[in-house]
Amino acid sequence: MDLEKPLPSLQDADALQFWQAAKEHRLALQWCSTCKSFLYPPGPACALCGAIDIVYKDIGREVTGSLYSYIITHRAFVPGFATNVPYVVALAEINEACNMKLLANLINCAPEKVRIGMQLRMVWEDRTPEVTLPQWEPL
Ligand SMILES: [Zn+2]
């Protein structure tokens, strides 16, 4: 456990189901019942149409994606990441959620091996007993 790395707030009522599912190594995403779209990050209303009829849908434990974009971070702007540089932050389209994009670290992949379109799977990092973070790794 590395407490120098920032953690998400578990006080955000809109995101609570996301983090509760993550703790169980499952992906749960908000879904707008009006425009039939997955939403991320979680919020009080649909970012696409403004509707407030939002529900959570369970995507499950087997989540795959396609790398849409990424950056390679060479400098740790937060001290807790100093031992991780260089590391990859990846935006991937989730195959099981209408290609909705989710941002997370891409782990177990050397930065020079990263390619747009590469296939990924979601894995989970139990950062603390309360907080589990989604991560991507090569499929
Ligand atoms: Zn909507």
For 20-79, write each residue's pLDDT tens digit: 999 999 999 999 999 999 999 999 999 999 999 999 999 999 999 999 999 999 999 889
Compute the distance from residue 30 Cα to the ligand 1 centre, in Å.
10
pLDDT value for 4: 86
pLDDT value for 68: 98
Token digits of residue 138: 């090569």
How far is residue 99's CA from residue 93's CA, in Å, rounded to a whole number? Answer: 4
pLDDT value for 103: 97
- In 3D, which of 54, 48, 8 has the Cα closest to residue 30? 54
Work out the mean pLDDT of the chain and round it to a whole number. 95
29 Cβ contact partners less than 8 Å away, ≥ 6 residues apart: 18, 38, 39, 40, 56, 57, 59, 97, 100
Compute the distance from residue 37 Cα to the ligand 1 centre, in Å.
6
Tell me if residue 10 falls in helix, strand or coil: coil
What average pLDDT score do residues 107-112 get? 97
pLDDT value for 99: 87
pLDDT value for 112: 97
Compute the distance from residue 118 Cα to the ligand 1 centre, in Å.
29
pLDDT over threshold 60, residue 90: yes
Q: pTM here?
A: 0.92
Compute the distance from residue 14 Cα to the ligand 1 centre, in Å.
15
pLDDT over threshold 80, residue 2: no
pLDDT over threshold 80, residue 95: yes
Compute the distance from residue 110 Cα to the ligand 1 centre, in Å.
37
Compute the distance from residue 31 Cα to the ligand 1 centre, in Å.
8
